[in-house]
Amino acid sequence: MDEVVQREKLALIGTMLTSLLHDFKGSCSIISLAAHLISKRHKEEPKTIQCCESIENQIQHMVNMVNELAAFPHGDNKIIPQKVSLEKVFNKFCDLKAPLLKDSRFKIEFISNDVEMEGDADKLLRMIQNLVTNAIEAIPPNGPLGQIQVRASESDGMIHLTVQDNGPGIPQQIQGSFFKPFATFGKHNGSGLGTAIAKSIVEAHRGKIHFETSKQGTTISIEIPKVFYH
């Protein structure tokens, strides 16, 4: 895609999202309040409390997602560093995407190796979500069991994250623009911004991202400093 057209399209998306953000947050606040009131009224019912907490977590997750989408076209990707347990990030992903993990078409495995780092937990969660979602979309619906593994490790002051799948590989047509906005091929859903936003999050953490791909699958490799340098 021509870079001028790409920038114009990003600017338009940013303007549209910004204009919708206020109404979106207002609706989410009403839903959150309702969940809070229900939990108060049924405070002796653990399952109801758990459902209400799940609703509020999902709402906050959606608000964060829309905030990041609105900020992305403007290059605004500020990091609020804090101590992050990747085990907790992985667990939060599993809580938010519980129905997805029950899908019999694929298996998702998380290996944290108790890795901790300095970073922005919400943005790291978004990065993993985008890359896992991209891997899921790449797996043929009628093929063999899809397998996705997210692994964390640490060496020489660097955090290494890999997202590996057994899909058919990244199409040759988009390999050169895989991490650019609107790089998509043969998909009917999605914004085409998932991998671009993931890359921007990695770079905001002073890291690097690349991929290796073949007909046997794709591995996304990420390197981020364990300590966040301002």
* Assessment of whether the complete model's pTM goes beyond 0.85: no
Are 128 and 14 in the same domain? no
User: Poorest-confidence range of 8-17, 24-33, 114-123, 147-156?
Assistant: 8-17
Q: Which of 74, 94, 117 is the last residue of a domain?
A: 74
Q: Is residue 230 part of a domain?
A: no
Per-residue pLDDT for 190 more than 60?
no
For residue 56, the model assigns a pLDDT of 82
**Residue 14 pLDDT level (bands cut at 50, 70, 90):** low
User: Residue 61 belongs to what domain range?
Assistant: 3-74
Whether 73 has a pLDDT exceeding 70, the answer reads no
| Residues ≥6 apart with Cβ < 8 Å to 147 | 106, 107, 109, 165, 166
Q: CA 131 → CA 19, 91, 120, 150, 185, distances in Å? A: 27, 16, 17, 10, 16
pLDDT tens by residue, 120-139:
998 999 999 999 988 988 88
Considering the domain boundaries, does residue 32 fall inside one? yes
In this structure, the answer to whether residues 195 and 160 fall within a common structural domain is: yes
Q: Are residues 57 and 104 in the same domain?
A: no
Which residue has better confidence, 78 or 85? 85
Residue 13 has pLDDT above 70, yes or no: no
Query: Do 187 and 100 belong to one domain?
Result: yes
Q: What phi and psi values does residue 153 have, to the nearest 5 degrees?
A: -150, 175
The reply to whether 43 falls in a domain is yes
Q: Do 89 and 26 lie in a common domain? A: no
Q: How far apart are CA 136 and CA 128, in angstroms?
A: 12
pLDDT at position 61 over 80: no
